[in-house]
Chain A
Amino acid sequence: MASAPPLSELQGWLAAVWTTREGVDAALKSPAGEKARRWISELRPPSARDRLAVYSDAYFLRLLESLGSEFPAVKRALGEDNFRKLIADYLSRHHSDSPNLSDLGSKLAEFSAAHALSKRFPYLGDLCRLEWEVLSALYTDRLPPLDPAVFSRLSPADWEKAALVFDPTLSLLEVSWPVDRLWAQRSSPAKAARCVWRTPRPGKLAVWRDDEWVRVESLEQEAFLTLESLMRGTSLPAACAASGAEADELKSWFAAWAKEGLIKGLR
């Protein structure tokens, strides 16, 4: 018998076999497959092929299931078969290189937007982007609640320069399709999912996490732009002046943002 392969080579051959999209039989015809098979014990049935197949079959199903649980609205909107096709294509281009399975979907939005399925489902890229933001909000630590006393401690001169601190889970998203509606329906039966909008309906979304879970809300254009400007660090007076909104309107935005726990302090 030839001398045993170094561990690194053996692992390289096996990883190539188990991640072959066409399955174990195609993989075993490749040079890596032929080499790997030679080192699998066949002292008793099942065959080396069947033993390798256990791992090949499990590989795709595991990653498909994981992405399905992290992109439930995408899965529901596309249906099982299209979702499976999208993920098979995605995994052919992007293998996991992270110890955390949650990283696997990081390029799905970009990939989906350019995928053939986005012709039939033009909102696909937007919906993936939204679900990725939701996942990111889920795995971001929140700041402690706002202490209202910080406002009363400010001198008039400080007010001129004061900027708001927002919760790190908050992100803003501009979308071409109202995908927040698809996200809201992610857990309801799939038969209602076939909504197709014929023309884009641009929208502005805010994503953040509250005490319970991740929230997705649609924002009016002016509120979105003001919030975006404040999040970039623009001072309160400057952002308010630039918004062009009436004082009452500004007050109602700030009250809502404070109530939802988006504002966490002053800088």
Chain B
Amino acid sequence: MQKRAVSGVGLGLRSVHYDHVLSRRPAVPWFEVISENFMGPRGGSGGRPLEVLAKVRREYPVALHGVSLSIGSTDPLDFDYLKKLESLASVIEPWIVTDHLCWTGAHGKNLHDLLPLPYTEEAARHVAGRIEKVQDAIGRSIAIENVSSYLSYKHDEMAEWEFIARIVKTTGCGVLLDVNNIHVSAINHGFDGEEYLAGIPVAAVRQMHLAGYSEENGFLIDTHDHPVSDPVWKLYAAAVRRFGAVPTLIEWDEHIPSFARLQKEAAKAKEVQDGVCAAAV
């Protein structure tokens, strides 16, 4: 398994496309997978999904993207989970390990959702301490992703981007900047997406996400079931101007279209990257 420098626009690897990817070897610079799908339940292991992923990994670089780290929860860190993550990473040798800046459950209940944190000093200290423990446990640095949110708290002490910048400064972790999530939260909470970008430390951004959202009852909801929207393409161009052409992923998890349609969306993102970079030159 060769280590390659990763760039360009990758795709999320979903089971409906396993056969296509393994038999046709489409031209995709890298894939992102959901880490938990390859860990198995308690007492289990990677099994069949990991057999498939190992084959994909022989041909492509892979990013491990988790949904269950629950870095913001006040429950103790789950070291069995971290051991499984560490072991998966040692098999797959991902080019990056990421998860979300959120909590997924508390008081022993896992809600399996990306729940928003209050942006307070207390929460920033709490998250930073846990990121350091996670990085120690898995022996790798991680990047944290901003989530879409539908509520904020009265006792917030700073903006979301200031919260992220503070955690990056304390821990040295990377940022997976989800441009769609910034737009969704900007509309839901009334902030300016470009101001958000300006608050994120440039050197910390290791990867970006693009996805589509839905509109329901006055909210934008991060459903990953549509093409990337025009305002998100615009914000993405601004992000590329600030952070450069960092590896970017098209997330499409519901009503998953054909592989060719995903590639078309990726090509559009690459065009934005190339256009911004050419203009800069």
A59 to B109, CA, bound (A): 12
A136 with B221: CB separation less than 8 A: no
Of A4, A50, A106, chain B has the most CB atoms within 10 Å of the CB of A4
List, in ascending order, chain B residues with CB within 8 A of A55's CB: 111, 113, 115, 150-151
B47 with A139: CB separation less than 8 A: yes
Known interface pairs A15-B106, A62-B113. Does A46 touch B218 (Cβ–Cβ under 8 Å)?
Answer: yes
Interface flag for B103 (CB, 8 Å): yes
List, in ascending order, chain B residues with CB within 8 A of A10's CB: 118, 153
A7 with B122: CB separation less than 8 A: yes
B111 with A18: CB separation less than 8 A: yes
A116 to B221, CA, bound (A): 37
Interface string of A91-108 (1 = CB under 8 A from B): 000011111111100100
Interface flag for B152 (CB, 8 Å): yes
A97 with B110: CB separation less than 8 A: yes
Interface flag for B70 (CB, 8 Å): yes
A50 with B110: CB separation less than 8 A: no
Known interface pairs A44-B190, A52-B151, A99-B81. Does A138 touch B36 (Cβ–Cβ under 8 Å)?
Answer: no
List, in ascending order, chain A residues with CB within 8 A of B190's CB: 43-44
B118 with A96: CB separation less than 8 A: no
A248 to B150, CA, bound (A): 68
B218 with A45: CB separation less than 8 A: yes
A11 to B115, CA, bound (A): 9
Interface flag for B112 (CB, 8 Å): yes
Interface string of B89-117 (1 = CB under 8 A from A): 00000000000000111111111110101
Interface flag for A229 (CB, 8 Å): no
Interface flag for A58 (CB, 8 Å): yes
A50 with B41: CB separation less than 8 A: no
Interface flag for B40 (CB, 8 Å): yes
Interface flag for A19 (CB, 8 Å): yes
Interface flag for B48 (CB, 8 Å): yes
Known interface pairs A10-B118, A46-B219, A99-B68. Does A41 touch B156 (Cβ–Cβ under 8 Å)?
Answer: yes
A12 with B41: CB separation less than 8 A: no
In B15-51, the 8 Å CB interface with A consists of: 36, 39-42, 44-51
Give which listed residue, A100, A135, A136, contacts B36 with CB less than 8 A.
A100
Interface flag for B78 (CB, 8 Å): yes
List, in ascending order, chain A residues with CB within 8 A of B68's CB: 99-100
List, in ascending order, chain B residues with CB within 8 A of A4's CB: 118, 120, 155
**CB nearest neighbor in B for A137:** B47
Interface flag for A202 (CB, 8 Å): no
Interface flag for A252 (CB, 8 Å): no
List, in ascending order, chain B residues with CB within 8 A of A169's CB: 47
A50 to B73, CA, bound (A): 23
B154 with A1: CB separation less than 8 A: yes
Interface flag for B263 (CB, 8 Å): no
B219 with A54: CB separation less than 8 A: yes
Interface flag for B217 (CB, 8 Å): yes
Instruction: Tell me how far the C-beta of B153 lies from the nearest C-beta in chain A, rounded to whole angstroms.
Output: 5
Known interface pairs A7-B126, A40-B151. Does A98 touch B110 (Cβ–Cβ under 8 Å)?
Answer: yes
**CB nearest neighbor in A for B104:** A99
Interface flag for B240 (CB, 8 Å): no
Of A44, A98, A137, A214, chain B has the most CB atoms within 10 Å of the CB of A98
Of A54, A137, A142, chain B has the most CB atoms within 10 Å of the CB of A54
A101 with B36: CB separation less than 8 A: yes
Give which listed residue, B48, B107, B111, B156, contacts A213 with CB less than 8 A.
B48
A95 with B42: CB separation less than 8 A: no
A98 with B42: CB separation less than 8 A: yes
Give which listed residue, A40, A46, A141, contacts B47 with CB less than 8 A.
A141
A19 with B48: CB separation less than 8 A: no
Interface flag for B238 (CB, 8 Å): no
B122 with A138: CB separation less than 8 A: no
In A226-265, the 8 Å CB interface with B consists of: none
A11 with B111: CB separation less than 8 A: no
A259 to B47, CA, bound (A): 20
Instruction: Tell me how far the C-beta of B120 lies from the nearest C-beta in chain A, rounded to whole angstroms.
Output: 7
A135 to B219, CA, bound (A): 36
A135 with B123: CB separation less than 8 A: no
List, in ascending order, chain A residues with CB within 8 A of B74's CB: 7-8, 11
Instruction: Tell me how far the C-beta of A146 lies from the nearest C-beta in chain B, rounded to whole angstroms.
Output: 18
**CB nearest neighbor in B for A214:** B48
Given A39-B155, A97-B108, A100-B36, 12 new contacts (CB under 8 A): A6-B122, A7-B72, A7-B126, A8-B106, A19-B111, A40-B152, A41-B156, A95-B109, A96-B112, A97-B109, A97-B110, A100-B41
Cβ contacts A to B, 29 pairs, < 8 Å = A4-B118, A4-B120, A6-B122, A7-B117, A7-B118, A11-B74, A11-B106, A11-B115, A18-B113, A40-B152, A50-B218, A51-B150, A54-B219, A54-B221, A55-B115, A59-B111, A59-B113, A95-B108, A98-B110, A100-B42, A101-B36, A102-B40, A138-B47, A139-B41, A139-B49, A140-B44, A140-B47, A141-B47, A209-B48
